């Protein structure tokens, strides 16, 4: 039987990173999942909203959780921000009756009621736990052997770990294992767990750039072929942001950035064109040539 | 302010107990995320692991917590510093006292926003949420690119639902106030 999930796209992915969405859809179909688009879903109301009104963020997150409950499906996120916000809302509302009453009091305005009947999972958890590494290895038709990869988890897939319970927050391994399963090799690099600075964009562009620059610098020291990301904010910071960092700091970085499903798609035999890799700002050809 | 070997040392005026508003920390602990404020014993693990603290002197979570505990209400809420947390949650994972530091910053930001303080960018992003149901808008260019890649067009958002929710939480009024500033 096909495993079904309600696909929660969020804001950034469909608007800015269509190739990521494309790879998720193609890879999951190929792996035998049935992803159902969640009709009427809104923005998850992440930290920019949470910073101004926790109550509003919680209510909007709960609204989206209700959509998954109505579809009778668990919800699958493909963005760290959505994963963190929706998981936290789901957990707090399931646990705290007073909070649930307050939020349902808001949701009644839109004819919804949070029941706490469904779970939120990130897509990495889905392929890691539902399928497992063996099956991922089995799906690889074109091994990426010889490719050296710097993995970058981002923050909100791991932390706060007491809520997300995804992996060890300081020494995670899931993404590294998944990269290794494609035949590529995840290599260590300095300050691997340090934040990309994405959320400081617009608040202090200077600090956001410096954090991205530090990340690119430490990765460049490890002589890898690409960085593999999970979160669309990290991707923006390192892909589009790389052009800006190179210009501002006069350090010409050319490190291809791939989302994990794009890497897995290549290993499953999909072509770069099929995966829309030409839409990335940093050309992926140098790493593609290596696996040709 | 004095100088020592080229390093600027900031010495602040002594605090007077009459300047301290003891009700401020009491209010902070009532906000989600602020509950464990009083457990902080100022060890500095938060500042030590902070990626932002490594590249600027302008953000020190321990300092903000101390100021909140002392009751420096206006100084904390009007400070630019509280908006420089990158929300990476490293401090929150490492705090030996279990203070939810990153969430505490969000709680303090909520209180600051109520007083009319918030960076313009956040207000714009939140306003976009109300107008379009999403923070990042879908442009015609995006739709064309999606079409070329063979992706379905983005399914419509129930903007009406978002508007009703924010009206009920009075978030629309808050944003109006913040935009007027």
Domain identity same for A79 and A187: no
Domain identity same for A150 and A285: yes
Report the C-alpha gap between A268 and A141 in whole angstroms. Answer: 5
Q: Which of B25, B33, B29 is nearest to B103 (CA)?
A: B33
* Contact residues, A window 215-274, toward B, CB-based 8 Å cutoff: none
Residues of chain B with Cβ-Cβ distance to A202 below 8 Å are: 119, 121-122, 125
The enclosing H or E element of B165 equals helix B159-168
Q: Is residue A128 part of a domain?
A: no
Domain identity same for A18 and A76: yes
Say whether the ipTM exceeds 0.90: yes
- pLDDT band at residue B5 using 50, 70 and 90 as cut-offs: low
Residue B157 neighbours by CB under 8 Å, 6+ apart: A40, A41, A42, B132, B133, B134
A107, A159, A214: residue with CB nearest B92: A159
Domain identity same for A66 and A150: no
DSSP label at residue A129: I
Question: Tokens 């792996």 appear where?
Answer: A31
CA distance A213 to chain B (A): 11
Q: Is residue A265 part of a domain?
A: yes
| Average pLDDT for B37-50 | 97
pLDDT over 70 at B1, yes or no: no
CA distance A1 to chain B (A): 25
pLDDT 10s digits, B7-36:
677 788 888 999 899 999 999 999 999 999
Q: pTM for the whole thing?
A: 0.96
- pLDDT band at residue B2 using 50, 70 and 90 as cut-offs: very low
Mark yes or no for CB contact B165/A59 under 8 Å: yes
Domain identity same for A176 and A116: no
Q: Choose from B136, B174, B176, B179 for mutation: most chain A CBs within 10 A.
A: B136
Domain identity same for A62 and A175: no
Return the pLDDT at A1.
64
pLDDT 10s digits, B132-144:
888 888 889 899 9
Quote the domain boundaries for residue A281.
133-291
* Inter-chain contacts counted by CB atoms under 8 A, chains A and B: 188
Q: Choose from A6, A15, A167 for mutation: most chain B CBs within 10 A.
A: A15
Q: Could you list the pLDDT tens digit for every one of the 292 residues in chain A?
A: 689 999 999 999 999 999 999 999 999 999 999 999 998 999 999 999 999 999 999 999 999 999 999 999 999 999 999 999 999 999 999 999 999 999 999 999 999 999 999 999 999 999 999 999 999 999 999 999 999 999 999 999 999 999 999 999 999 999 999 999 999 999 999 999 999 999 999 999 999 999 999 999 999 999 999 999 999 999 999 999 999 999 999 999 999 999 999 999 999 999 999 999 999 999 999 999 999 7
Superfamily classification of domain B15-114: Alpha-helical ferredoxin (1.10.1060.10)
Interface check for B49 against chain A (CB to CB < 8 A): the answer is no
* Contact residues, A window 202-221, toward B, CB-based 8 Å cutoff: 202-204, 207, 210-211, 214
- Which contacts qualify for A94-102: CB closer than 8 Å, 24 or more apart? A99/A58, A102/A55
Domain identity same for A160 and A281: yes
Mark yes or no for CB contact A160/B102 under 8 Å: yes
Domain identity same for A57 and A75: yes
Number of domains in chain A: 2
Mark yes or no for CB contact B119/A203 under 8 Å: yes
Domain identity same for A209 and A282: yes
* Final residue belonging to a domain, choices A72, A91, A123: A123
Domain identity same for A119 and A138: no
pLDDT 10s digits, B109-163:
999 999 999 999 999 999 999 998 888 888 898 999 999 999 998 888 889 999 9
Which tokens is A232 given?
């669309």
Interface check for B103 against chain A (CB to CB < 8 A): the answer is yes
Q: Which of A219, A214, A42 is nearest to B52 (CA)?
A: A214
pLDDT 10s digits, B70-91:
999 999 999 999 999 999 999 9
Range list for CATH 1.10.1060.10 in chain B: 15-114
* Final residue belonging to a domain, choices A123, A149, A177: A123
pLDDT over 50 at B53, yes or no: yes
B33, B138, B165: residue with CB nearest A63: B165
A101: CATH: 1.20.1050.140
Interface check for B135 against chain A (CB to CB < 8 A): the answer is yes
Domain identity same for A41 and A163: no
A48, A161, A276: residue with CB nearest B149: A276
Which tokens is B112 given?
């600051």
Domain identity same for A281 and A171: yes
* Final residue belonging to a domain, choices A123, A152, A180: A123
């Amino acid at each position: 039987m096909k495993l079904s999930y309600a696909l929660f796209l969020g804001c950034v992915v469909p608007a800015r990173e269509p190739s990521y969405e494309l790879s998720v859809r193609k890879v999951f179909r190929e792996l035998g999942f049935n992803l159902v688009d969640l009709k009427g879903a809104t923005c998850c109301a992440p930290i920019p909203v949470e910073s101004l009104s926790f109550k509003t963020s919680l209510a909007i997150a709960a609204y989206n959780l209700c959509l998954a409950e109505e579809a009778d499906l668990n919800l699958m996120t493909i963005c760290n921000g959505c994963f963190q916000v929706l998981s936290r809302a789901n957990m707090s509302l399931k646990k705290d009756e007073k909070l649930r009453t307050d939020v349902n009091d808001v949701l009644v305005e839109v004819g919804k009621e949070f029941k706490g009947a469904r779970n939120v999972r990130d897509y990495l958890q889905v392929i890691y736990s539902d399928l497992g590494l063996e099956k991922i290895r089995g799906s690889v038709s074109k091994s990426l052997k010889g490719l050296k990869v710097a993995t970058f988890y981002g923050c909100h897939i791991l932390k706060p770990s007491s809520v997300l319970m995804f992996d060890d927050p300081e020494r995670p391994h899931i993404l590294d294992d998944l990269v290794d399963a494609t035949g590529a090799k995840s290599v260590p690099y300095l300050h691997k767990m340090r934040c990309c600075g994405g959320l400081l964009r617009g608040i202090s562009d200077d600090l956001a750039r410096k954090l991205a620059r530090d990340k690119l610098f430490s990765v460049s020291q490890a002589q890898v072929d690409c960085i593999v990301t999970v979160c669309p904010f990290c991707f923006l910071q390192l892909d589009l942001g790389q052009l800006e960092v190179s210009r501002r700091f006069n350090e010409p970085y050319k490190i291809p950035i791939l989302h994990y499903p794009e890497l897995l798609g290549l290993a499953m035999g999909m072509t770069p064109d099929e995966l829309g890799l030409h839409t990335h700002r940093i050309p992926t050809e140098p790493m593609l040539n290596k696996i040709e | 302010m004095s100088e020592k070997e080229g390093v600027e040392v900031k010495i602040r005026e002594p605090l007077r107990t009459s300047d301290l508003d003891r009700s401020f920390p009491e209010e902070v602990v009532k906000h989600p995320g602020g509950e464990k404020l009083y457990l902080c014993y100022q060890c500095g693990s938060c500042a030590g692991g902070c990626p932002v603290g490594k590249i600027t002197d302008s953000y020190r979570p321990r300092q903000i917590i101390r100021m909140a505990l002392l009751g420096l209400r206006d100084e904390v809420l009007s400070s630019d510093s509280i908006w420089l947390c990158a929300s990476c949650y490293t401090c929150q994972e490492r705090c030996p006292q279990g203070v939810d530091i990153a969430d505490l910053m969000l709680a303090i930001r909520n209180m600051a926003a109520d007083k009319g303080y918030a960076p313009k960018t956040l207000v714009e992003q939140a306003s976009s949420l109300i107008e379009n149901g999403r923070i990042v808008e879908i442009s015609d260019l995006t739709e064309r690119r999606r079409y070329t890649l063979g992706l379905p067009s983005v399914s419509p958002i129930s903007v009406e639902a978002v508007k009703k929710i924010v009206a009920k939480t009075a978030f629309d009024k808050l944003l109006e106030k913040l935009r007027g500033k």
